[in-house]
Structure formats: C-alpha cells, structure tokens
Structure 1
C-alpha cells in the first residue's frame, strides 16, 4: 500500500515457458531475411510507413527498374581474360564461367541475384566454396540482411563478417568469414565497411509512393467514389445519425458498389465536397513517384512504362539506351569486375562484355563494315544463307569479286550526235 492506495502486481506467464518441446515444422529460422525485416524497427520516413525489401518491390516502378538492371546484367557475358603482353587479350577459362557451381544457380541467375542484392541493399556477400584440394569452385550469395560487418584489424582485409545461417532443421548458427573466405561487393560507401542501401537512402521517396498506393487501395475498398456531406431535412437523433451514415456507407462505399444506384428511405440533401482527389494533385503525385524511382535507379522513365515521360523517337531512344549501359550498368559492372578479379591469379581479370548491348542496328553495322573494307564483299553466299537458316549451295564458299563501278558520265560534256546521211 502506497499513499492510501494498494498496488497489485500481475504475474505474466509467457506461453512458451510451459512448453517443453516445439514441433520442428512450427519453428522459423533466425536466418530468414523476412524475419529480420519483420522485427526491424523499419526505415523512418516522412510518410510514416515502413520501407523494406518487400514493400519496395511492391511498387511496380521499383520492381521494373530492379528487374531491368539485374536482368540486363544477367544477360551480359562475364569473361575471364588474360593480357598476353603484346597488346592482345586472350580468353581464359575459370570457375567464374559458372560461378554458382555445378549444383548452384545458373550463371544468369547468379548474376541476377548479386545485382538484386546490390540494388536493394547496397551489398553483395559471396561465400567461397572450396574443393578437396583447396581450389575455389564457386561463390554462394548470402542475403545481406543475414550478414553483419565488424572491424577486425587482425583479420585479412580488416573486416569480420558474421552470417546467421541455417545449418540444420530450423536451427540458426553464426558463421564467421574474412576476406579469404568471403568476397564483399559494396555499393556507394561512406565508412569503408558497408555500402549504402538504396531503399534506405530513398526511404522518403519510396515511402511516399507506398503511402499513395495504400491510400488509393483504401479509397477503393473502404471509401466512397463520391465525397460530400449529407444533411437530413428533418431533425434526427444521434442514434439515427449513426444509422443513416452506416446505411449510406454500406450502399455507396467500396469498389463493388461503383456505378450502383443506392435507394435510401430517407429525405436527405447531399452536398459534394469542393476539393477532389485531382485538386489535391493525388494522381499527379503518384505519377511523379515513377520519375523519382527512375531517377534513384538511373533508368530512363520510358523503360518503366511511364506514359507521362517525354516522348522521344529514333536516335533519341537509342541514345537513352546507350546512356543506360554507360552511366548505370557500367558502374555496377566495374564494382563486380574489380572484386572478382582479385580471385583470379594475375595477370587474369574479369570483364563484362557489352558488345552485344551496344551493337548498332544491322543496317548501321553493315554500312560501317562496308566502309571499312572499301566496299568489298565480307560474306560468302553460304554464310549469308546460313544467317537466313537456308542450306548451303555448291560453290558458295568463295567470296564473290566486288562489282566494277560503272563509268561516270560527265554532265558538262554534251552527248555525241549520230550523223544522219542526207
């Protein structure tokens, strides 16, 4: 008793303390990235919504931008090359021809996953998989939310990586790595340890877009397609007001009542609001969020299917696509190339082949080749037929001689006149 009042303490019994065993199928591993995101404090932003991997990918513009960059990088060949010393390059074979290993992800899936980790979380962690003889066989991507980084001056690279991995049946275990057993590819970095997460840096823009989607969904599910104030022509009691409001919302609110004709046995006067969603620039803000996301990821808005983007035709679209390869994909490729090149013995290095992506149109390429060869033929008949999936013909494996140019007739010289006998 304190101050004349009795304070009673209630003892809380946690339900899991009384359980001696829990079925294995009901357990969740602590290495699950979804669980890490669920129990995180969220990314604070002006819109007041949680921005994470799942919510960010729920935005169509983010999903399209990430899928476009990651998918395009996945299609680029990743070559292992050696400088021969005479200015030439020689293609070499290495484990990076299939970096996921024999039973791991395919080369396309591996490159796409690494890029997805970089685009969303700003870091890619690759666990080294060694063979029995100590040779490096593959690189296993680990989700960035499952890896922490600490400074460790006594370790190679000065970093200590701790990965919370699932090693048994729903049993989590902490694995420690350093530069000898894990390759870390950071994005834009300010502290030298961990790369900046794009979805964290862009939390305000993404949060506004997520809030806009939720507001639109709530307007269609719970809100009326018309907004205004209802005034009864007669006096009603407070309980009747609640009943009238519930009756109107039941017959008017929601997408299933769109276009319907409500019938209410009341004498009411409806006054619409003067401020609509368009006046509040709701639709304009949602369209602007697409351009914001395109700006964050460095993707032209036209590739995000934005109908409000500036319309460009011909060479304008081609220049935009070349700019994507040079100023967006090239930066990501350079980060991966330099980190993976450390895993190969010198003088070998890794390089992405952008030739197929930057190749001009067939007409432009043929015209360029003809100019470089002085107009001489560059294909045999059978090579041309093979391009068209046609069978070879006899005698079609030799280059045909270039046709002789026709003599030019000077326009200044008058044509010769034939003499007509008298």
Structure 2
C-alpha cells in the first residue's frame, strides 16, 4: 500500500513538473496543456505543435507583425483627436511594459498566447492605485482555480520556482476568438486533428529520410544456408551489391537468390503531397496566405499588385481583428471610467509601410495633398524635426494654399483689381499730360 502511494506521488509530481504549475479539476487551462488526442494517433500539446514549421511561421509572422506596430495613447479634445504622450500608459504600452521587457517582445508573447492558448494573461504592476507596468504571465506556469463563490484564484510560479497567488483584480486577461463571449478557445483542442495529421506526416517523412528514401531490401535463397554460407552471402551483399560505390555495376546472383523490397515508395504514398496539404491546412487555420510563410502552393507565386492585395487582405482579415481586440481590452481593463471618455489606445497600422518606401511616399503624398496631414506631421512620422511656418499648415492640391484660406480668394482678387484700375488711371493721366 505504501509503495503504491509513493508511486502515485511520483507520477503526480512528474505531471505537475511537466505542467509547470499545480492544478485542480476546475483548471481548464492546465488540463488543456496535457494536450488533445488526434485520429492520427499523435498527442497534440503546446510543446510539439511548435515543432511544425508552418505553425511556427504563422504564429511568428502574426505576433511579430503586431509586436512591431507602434502603439500609443490618444485623447479626444475640443480641438479634435490627438496623441497623448503625457498619459502614463503611452510609455508602458508603446516602449517598456516593465523593467525586464520591451514593448515589441511583450506584445509578441501576448499575441502568441492568444493564437495558441486562446487567452493571454498579464499581471498589473501597481504602485498604490496607479498602474506602473505590465508583466506577461507564461501560460505553462499559470494555474486558474474556480472557487465555489464563482471567483477565480490565480497561482503563478515565477522564474525562481516560487509559487504565489495573484489577486484577480490584478490580472489582465485578453481573450482570443471566443464562443462564450468570456474566454478564448484553445487552438490545440480544436485543431488537434489538423495538427496531429501534420505531426504524423512529419514523423513518417523523418523515418523515410532516415532510411535514405530507400525501402527495405530482402534477399531470398531457396534453401536454408549454413552459417558459413550465410556469412559469405552477407559479405557478397555488403561489398559487391550494396552501397553507392557499387551503383551501376552488374551483379551475378547465384544459388537461386531472389531480391525484393519491403515498403512503399514515397511518391506512391504521396508523402510530399500530404506534407504540402498539411501546410495549407495549418495556414487556413491561422488565416495566413501560404506565400507569406514561404510556401508556394502548386508553384504559384504573386508579384506586383497581387502581393499588395494579399497584404491588404492579411492586414484586414488577420491583423485587424487581433489589434482591435487588444485595443478594446486596454480600454476595458486598464483605463478608469473617467479616462475612457477622454483617452483611447491605437495601433498605427501605417507602421507596416516602413518596409516599402514607395508605398510610404505615395501614402504621405495623398494625405498631404488632400489636407489630411501637414508636412510637419509627416516629418514627425519619419522622426524628423518640425520646420514650422507653412509646414505646419494643412494644404490641398489646388494651389497648395492653406486650408483655412479657401473661399477667401474673392477679396484678394478684388484688391488686385482695384490696384490694377488705380495704376491704369495713373498711366492714363500721365499720357494726357
């Protein structure tokens, strides 16, 4: 009995060590980390799913794209909407969330957790009643316990292995795509069939390449060989019939020897086609065009306007929903009720134009020529000092005139006409004299 209890204790300790945090029967997140079974016979979890290159590439592409977008606070005033660098969240969200992290790495981790785990959790670092920073909580170290009164208890294991309980008021939860309107669904649980099939295909491909893409070869004799005959046959096969050095050389088969193969040719098994289909299935799951992660389906590639349209689609269908969800979550959980009426966060998706100077120049030209941005505002986006004067005035393409002077040309024209008549009278009087 004692040995059985000790065995159960060791198994429990091993499971808890693998999970990274203790858990209970009501901890859905911890049970999800145990993985999900698939019809392909492969257990899918948050560890082996990232071993798929397509999953790694999709998650990295989306998280790095959002992580490198400029994020700052804005305010609504009587003069209109403008940036609010004076707000404390502007530095926390856009530059440095805490003493150990920078904003790009922080948001990459948040988005990756939303994509793979369904939810991202951060701890609010408080100084009194003031929010002083944000700390990302690794999903493998976080345990969520449901209490009888309906509240939640958060337990987290820090970098040195100490467990601490975090009050629910200090937890900032950002859900991914949700079915109940409260928590995001786990990609691992719902995509187990897709990811399991891809993992099984990779394992089969690995075994095939391990054998050098060659099936197993058998040699058959009509009668049982004596030990010395078996050694002679093995020596003959390894030295004269097998190996790259013997390729193309004729082989003499004696004593009724027959040769055959065991296994299926990779092309017959459509192994390469299965792997390509797995990549497309994973891209469909993450809503990413395969070309963006280096996979050209059926050899198809896009150039020119095709790439531009695909990038627009990627921004609208993949990036925008996640960005909008984060912005609304910031308003809900990180701003006070009074601040929500005045301040709001905003990702500058124009940051995606930084890699394309031609597109960036065309964008700025349209915005300036239509009186939407001033030249100084464009210079600020390019991290250049303002010039002041007319560079700070909105202009339009008509004559690059100040926007607030449109419609006042009549008075200017009347003044010019009066001056012309006066000069004409002086000229006429001089001629008469």
Tell me the TM-score normalised to structure 2 length.
0.68
CA drift at 1:336: 1.1
Contact 1:79/1:351 (CA < 8 Å) preserved in 2? yes
1:163 match:
155
- Alignment correspondent of 2:346: 351
Question: Cα 1:362–1:71, aligned 2, differ >3 Å: closer, same or farther?
Answer: closer
CA distance 1:357–1:159, change in 2 (3 Å) = farther
Helix, strand or coil at the partner of 2:36: coil
- Aligned-residue offset at 1:261: 3.9
Is the counterpart of residue 234 in structure 1 residue 222 in structure 2?
yes
CA contact (8 A) 1:45 1:207 kept: yes
Give the match's secondary structure for 1:341: helix
Q: Where does residue 404 of structure 2 map in the other structure?
A: none
| Structure-2 separation of matches of 1:286 and 1:236 | 43
Cα deviation 1:128-181 (Å, max 9, x = unaligned): 1112x3311111111223334455696xxx6414223248x544x351432x21
Q: Equivalents in 2 of 1:170, 1:243: separation in Å?
A: 59
Question: In structure 1, what is the equivalent of residue 329 of structure 2?
Answer: 339
Distance 1:340 1:265, change over 3 A: farther
1:117 to 1:227, Cα distance in 2 relative to 1, 3 A: same
Q: 1:123 aligns with which of 119, 126, 149?
A: 119
Counterparts of 2:233 and 2:72 in 1: how far apart (Å)?
68
Partner of 1:324: 314
2:92 to 94, 98, 101: 98
Q: Is the 8 A contact 1:123 1:187 kept in 2?
A: yes
Contact 1:228 1:272 in 2 (8 A): yes
Kept in 2: contact 1:230–1:271 (CA 8 A): yes
1:47-196 matches, cutoff 5 A: 47-92=40-85, 93-99=87-93, 101-131=97-127, 133-149=128-144, 159-166=151-158, 170-171=161-162, 173-178=163-168, 180-196=169-185
Look up the match of 1:197: 186
Partner of 2:359: 361
RMSD: 4.5
Distance 1:308 1:365 in 2: 32
Alignment match, 2:269: 280
SS for the counterpart of 2:84 is strand
Q: Per the alignment, do residues 44 and 248 of structure 1 end up closer, same or farther by CA in structure 2, a change over 3 Å counting?
A: farther
2:39 aligns to what? 46
Matched residue pairs, number? 355
Contact kept? 2:55, 2:282, Cα under 8 Å: yes
Q: CA deviation at 1:42?
A: 2.8
Query: Taking structure 1 as reference, are residues 265 and 240 closer, same or farther at Cα in structure 2, changes over 3 Å only?
Result: farther
Are the structure 2 counterparts of residues 42 and 153 from structure 1 closer, same or farther at C-alpha, using a change threshold of 3 Å? closer
Q: Would the alpha carbon gap of residues 87 and 211 (structure 1) be closer, same or farther in structure 2, given more than 3 Å must change?
A: same
Which residue in 2 is equivalent to 1:23? Answer: none
Match of 2:293 in 1: 304
Q: Among residues 225, 239, 255, which one is paired with 2:213 in the alignment?
A: 225
Secondary structure at the residue paired with 2:350?
coil
Q: Could you tell me how far 1:182 is from its partner in structure 2?
A: 0.7
CA contact (8 A) 2:123 2:171 kept: yes
Q: Is the 8 A contact 1:53 1:120 kept in 2?
A: yes
* 1:179-201 superposed Cα distances (whole Å, 9 cap, x missing partner): x2111111122344532111221
Q: Is the 8 A contact 2:144 2:155 kept in 1?
A: no
Q: Which has the higher helix share?
A: 2
Q: Is the 8 A contact 1:28 1:170 kept in 2?
A: no
Q: Summarize the Cα distance change of 1:232–1:90 in structure 2 as closer, same or farther, 3 Å threshold.
A: closer
